[in-house]
């Protein structure tokens, strides 16, 4: 994938050099961060289009500025396609990213001081699910549920229920950032209805898997609201999305919360990129892509199990794996991330449940298969990458072997170049 950068090359060589450097890094390395992916050339073109010039505060047919004929058409397409993908009646495509989408949903569904029950960060949750370092934790009261069994990933649903009965949350939030298994959505909805709470799911990580119909759709089990990013497994531009299954009143509250509540003018170039990506995800080929993501993750899981590297929850049922490299290989997550960067494998350090190490130097690493699956990797190649991850960490002080692995990674990356189009 290459971009036409002739104007920036002439006008701003420093920025041009950095962009070209990043393009080379992506082309010659393997991206395993499960929250990253590659967009098609069509999405890149939409993001870099003249739509970046246009202010479009408000919603379709109700803008504060004139000249909205084409922006309205684009936002309408994005909404229609998002609703079709996820089985929703309403969609707001204006959130700038996943965190703003979550915050907008919170303000729409709750009043300051209300309680929300979400997954503990150490057990796979996200910062926006109520970690004390976030500003939103000062506005709402967050209480948490966790895994009952770290080795299998089983959620403590009875503990979740008892917390809900005791705390009476306004919202019960499912979803995660580093949890490799599926949730029992029916139990979440059952508990939410028992205590009179709204059921909300953050599908940011698995949106593409839901769209591709290879994992369960929470809406099929009665969830009220879903929030998401549009990158990650969905393979779109970096942005956010809020979906409402059928409740028009909730949808209106969410619209008001996004604008004018939290955001001004939406980024119409980004919304155009979302529309293009949603159109790609509606193609039959996207289902095959989603299926391959799961197959590839399983292939990597098998290698880690064979090499006796401990995986939190014992493996994966989705696109990501969380491995305890400190406990299994004597390498901290931070060191693992650094050493693997040196050989052209990009992933991220991550806390694990019961971690005795600090967040900025944790025991685990998190990696996944969305981006390399986009490049055309199948099970054989993914198994080899998993072997190379473990071999690199076991030989972290062997510069000769690391160079050999780096050469192999570059050859593998060149064999599977980043595609310009996916359909």
pLDDT tens-place string over residues 384-405: 999 999 999 999 999 999 999 9
pLDDT at 131: 81
Q: Set out the domains of the chain in order of their start, with CATH numbers.
A: 45-281 (3.40.640.10), 284-415 (3.90.1150.10)
Q: Directed axis angle between helix 248-256 and helix 98-109, to 10°?
A: 120
DSSP code per residue over 234-281:
G---S-EEEEESS-HHHHHHHHHIIIIII-SS--HHHHHHHHHHHHHH
Contacts of 135 (CB under 8 A, 6+ apart): none
Chain centroid to CA 147? 20
Cα 416 from Cα 404, distance rounded (Å): 19
Residue 68 has pLDDT above 80, yes or no: yes
Q: What is the mean pLDDT of residues 270-274?
A: 98
Q: What is the mean pLDDT of residues 161-166?
A: 98
Higher pLDDT, 328 or 421: 328
Contacts of 177 (CB under 8 A, 6+ apart): 35, 121, 124, 125, 126, 127, 204, 205
Cα 40 from Cα 384, distance rounded (Å): 26
Distances (CA, A) of 370 to 170, 207, 389: 34, 11, 17
Residue 1 has pLDDT above 60, yes or no: no
Return phi, psi of residue 147, to 5°: -75, 145
Residues involved in catalysis: 55, 57, 202, 229, 232, 238
Lowest mean pLDDT among 11-25, 123-137, 351-365: 123-137
pLDDT at 2: 61
pLDDT at 422: 83
Pairing of strands 320-324, 364-368: antiparallel
pLDDT at 232: 96
Q: What is the mean pLDDT of residues 417-422?
A: 91
Q: What is the mean pLDDT of residues 188-209?
A: 98
> What is the pTM (predicted TM-score) of this model?
0.96
Q: What is the mean pLDDT of residues 85-95?
A: 98
Band of residue 127 on the pLDDT scale cut at 50, 70, 90: confident
pLDDT at 403: 98
Residue 311 has pLDDT above 80, yes or no: yes
pLDDT at 216: 98
Q: What is the mean pLDDT of residues 244-248?
A: 98
Q: Which of 160, 180, 72 is nearest to 118 (CA)?
A: 160
Q: What is the mean pLDDT of residues 254-279?
A: 98
Burial annotation 168-184 (CB, 10 A radius, 16+ → b, else e):
ebbbbbbbbbbbbbebe
pLDDT digits (tens, 9 = 90+) for 14-64: 999 999 999 999 999 999 999 999 999 999 999 999 999 999 999 999 999
Output the average pLDDT for the chain. 96
């Amino acid at each position: 994938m290459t971009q036409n950068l002739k104007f920036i090359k002439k006008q701003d060589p420093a920025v041009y050099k950095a962009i070209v450097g990043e393009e080379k890094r992506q082309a010659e390395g393997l991206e395993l961060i499960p929250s990253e992916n590659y967009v098609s050339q069509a999405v890149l073109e939409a993001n870099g289009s003249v739509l970046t010039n246009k202010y479009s505060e408000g919603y379709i047919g109700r803008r504060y500025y004139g000249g909205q004929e084409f922006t309205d058409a684009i936002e309408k397409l994005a909404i229609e396609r998002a609703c079709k993908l996820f089985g929703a009646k309403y969609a707001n495509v204006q959130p700038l990213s996943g965190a703003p989408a979550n915050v907008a949903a919170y303000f729409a569904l709750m009043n300051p001081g209300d309680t929300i029950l979400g997954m503990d960060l150490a057990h796979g949750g996200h910062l926006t699910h109520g970690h004390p370092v976030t500003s939103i934790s000062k506005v709402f009261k967050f209480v948490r549920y966790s895994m009952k069994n770290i080795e299998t990933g089983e959620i403590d649903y009875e503990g979740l229920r008892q917390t809900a009965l005791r705390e009476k949350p306004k919202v019960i939030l499912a979803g995660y950032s580093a949890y490799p298994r599926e949730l029992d959505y029916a139990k979440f909805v059952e508990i939410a209805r028992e205590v009179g709470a709204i059921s909300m799911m953050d599908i940011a990580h698995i949106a593409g898997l839901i769209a591709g119909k290879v994992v369960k759709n929470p809406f099929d089990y009665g969830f009220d609201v879903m929030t998401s990013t549009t990158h990650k497994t969905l393979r779109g531009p970096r942005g956010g999305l809020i979906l409402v299954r059928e409740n028009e009143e909730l949808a209106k509250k969410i619209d008001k919360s996004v604008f004018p509540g939290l955001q001004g003018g939406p980024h119409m170039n980004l919304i155009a990129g979302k529309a293009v990506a949603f159109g790609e995800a509606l193609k039959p080929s996207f289902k095959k892509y989603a299926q391959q993501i799961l197959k590839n993750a399983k292939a990597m899981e098998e290698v880690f199990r064979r090499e006796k590297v401990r995986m939190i929850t014992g493996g994966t049922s989705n696109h990501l794996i969380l491995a305890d490299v400190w406990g299994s290989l004597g390498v901290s997550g931070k060191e693992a991330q650094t050493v693997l960067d040196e050989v052209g494998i990009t992933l991220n350090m991550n806390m694990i449940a019961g971690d005795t190490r600090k967040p900025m130097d944790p025991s685990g690493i998190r990696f996944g298969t969305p981006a390399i699956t986009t490049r055309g990797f199948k099970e054989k190649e993914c198994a080899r990458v998993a072997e190379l991850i473990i071999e690199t960490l076991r030989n972290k002080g062997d510069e000769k072997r690391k160079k050999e692995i780096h050469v192999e990674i570059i050859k593998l990356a060149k064999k599977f170049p980043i595609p310009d189009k996916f359909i």
